[in-house]
Amino acid sequence: MLELTQILKEHKLKVTPQRLCIFKILCETTEHPTAEAIYNSLKNEFPTMSLATVYKTLDTLVQHGLIQQLNVGEDSFRYDATVLSHPHVKCVKCGQVMDIHNMQTIKGLREEVKALTHFDLMHEQLYFFGTCPTCQKN
């Protein structure tokens, strides 16, 4: 928590309990929650917290590069505290979204895209869809 306070200060953001708590939730979960999900897991601790504040805070954190916004083909956005670009895989049965880290083949992929399109690439969003090991058994 002290560390998160520090990070917010470094970005010249006022350190409020609401911000800290939203940021903390994102850092501690691997579930890539939506704004609504974050709001629901917070409103016990912060009964006066409003969904608008969640959205404003998430927007602020995205603007400062502290979290990233995901778009997994759903009707709402998800958020991820891991800013380093990494692919995600979503289970079409249970709906969970998982990170995939340490991919070796991405570098080659980027190079091929660059060669084919002549774009000056900045970042990418890679989403895979299928059935997770648990759902495969059922």
Partner DNA sequence: TTAGATGCAAACTTTTTGCAACAAA
Partner DNA sequence: TTTGTTGCAAAAAGTTTGCATCTAA
Per CB under 7 A, residues contacting DNA are 9, 13-19, 34-36, 46, 48-53, 55-57, 59-60, 75-77
74 three-state secondary structure: coil
CA distance 79 to 81: 7
Is 103 one of the binding residues for a second copy (CB under 8 A)?
yes
Each residue 35-74 as x (binds a second copy by CB under 8 A) or -, in order, gives: ----------------------------------x-xxxx
Spatial separation of the C-alpha atoms in residues 6 and 60, rounded to whole Å: 16
User: DSSP E strands: which ranges in 47-100?
Assistant: 68-70, 78-80, 88-91, 97-99
Determine the residue type at 124.
Answer: E
Q: Is 137 in the site for a second copy (CB under 8 A)?
A: no
List residues binding a second copy (CB under 8 A): 69, 71-74, 87, 89, 91-92, 98, 100, 102-106, 108-110, 112-113, 116-133, 136
